[in-house]
Structure 1
Amino acid sequence: MNFQGLPTLTAHAYRLGKPDANGQAPEHVLNPYEAAPCRHCLRNIPKGHGMLICAHRPFETRNPYAETGPIFLCAAACAPSRGEGLPEVLTTSPDYLIKGYSVDERIVYGTGRVTPQAEIESYCAALLARDEIAFVDIRSARNTCWQVRVTR
């Protein structure tokens, strides 16, 4: 199982001020939160450090299931996540919203579930064992912001 953050080229484009999924330049702010998850390195941005806020759609195609939402990103270049094991950004909340998607990027109904942190890896593994599931997206259970994609 591989936990994937935002592609490096996408993160770099946002840092250069390229338009986000809403066609706007990312906002540059100092992190006011205790834990702001960077979707590229999959680590928490320390309070007071520079970060970007932008709208992101983690899908190749535009379809009714291609959700767009706000994400945080380290303002300075950061190393991409290595993808192995539960990333730091999934350790700050007691639960997360997990959904399986088909190869055509549509939600596979019946897979969406608010999942306790301790069950993330086992639930993702169970979903990815199903032939009709191409990938799993993990979102905030409170704000539904995209956190990370999980693949085989």
Structure 2
Amino acid sequence: MNTELEYVAVPAADLERIRCNDHDDFGNPIVPLTSGGGEPLRCCLTIAPAGDRIALVSHRPMTAGGPYAEVGPVFVHLSDCGGPASDSYPADFRDRRSVLRPYDASGQMLDGVLAAAGTAEVELKQLFDDPAVDTVQVRNVIAGCWNFTVRRQA
């Protein structure tokens, strides 16, 4: 199956609401931070350089409910950064190890793959060969935090 994929960051509307409310959707206040460099930003799918103004907020990446609809911490820019600059696999995440979690349309996890550095794009395409796979969450290997979601382009 030849599949074009879409790489999904924290939605701009969610970020706008969080920034306007001065707290995330779970009541945690926005605390401005200055990046030390290296924080994975889920608003633009880049790695923060030292000195960027960022915040750590809670986010639930899965829109379907159920037991896998986890809430976790994500770094975002403190102000609007315009979102991801590309519609391809995020370059700053390419050479990192990743956990890939495929889910069906009802939000049930189907499998899990540990992708070695530089292999996640190939692993994703293989996961999407299964028509039951609706989305795949790309996650941090150490902390398990959500980095971004991948889905078939509409």
TM-score between the two structures when normalised by the length of structure 1? 0.88
SS of residue in 1 equivalent to 2:67: coil
CA distance, structure 1, for counterparts of residue 117 and residue 16 of structure 2: 30
Matches within 5 A, 1:92-111: 93=96, 95-108=97-110, 111=111
1:106-141 alpha-carbon deviations (Å, 9 max, x no partner): 211xx2122113111111111112111101000000
Q: What is the RMSD of the two structures over their aligned residues, measured on CA atoms?
A: 1.7
8 Å CA contact 1:30, 1:48 repeated in 2: yes
1:24 matched to which residue of 2?
28
CA distance, structure 1, for counterparts of residue 91 and residue 78 of structure 2: 18
CA distance, structure 2, for counterparts of residue 18 and residue 139 of structure 1: 26
Structure 1 spans left out of the alignment, 5+ residues: none
**Number of aligned residue pairs:** 148
TM-score between the two structures when normalised by the length of structure 2? 0.87
Cα offset for 1:44? 1.9
8 Å CA contact 1:38, 1:89 repeated in 2: no
SS of residue in 2 equivalent to 1:117: coil
1:46 is the counterpart of 2:49:
yes
Structure 2 spans left out of the alignment, 5+ residues: none
Letter in 2 for 1:136: V
Cα offset for 1:42? 0.9
Cα offset for 1:21? 4.4
8 Å CA contact 1:39, 1:72 repeated in 2: yes
Counterparts in 2 of 1:62 and 1:27: CA distance versus 1, 3 Å:
farther
8 Å CA contact 2:18, 2:25 repeated in 1: no
1:71 matched to which residue of 2?
74
Cα offset for 1:20? 2.4
8 Å CA contact 1:35, 1:92 repeated in 2: no
2:84 matched to which residue of 1?
81
CA distance, structure 1, for counterparts of residue 29 and residue 65 of structure 2: 20
8 Å CA contact 2:44, 2:83 repeated in 1: yes
2:15 matched to which residue of 1?
11
SS of residue in 2 equivalent to 1:118: coil
Give 4+ residue runs of structure 1 displaced > 4 Å after superposition: none
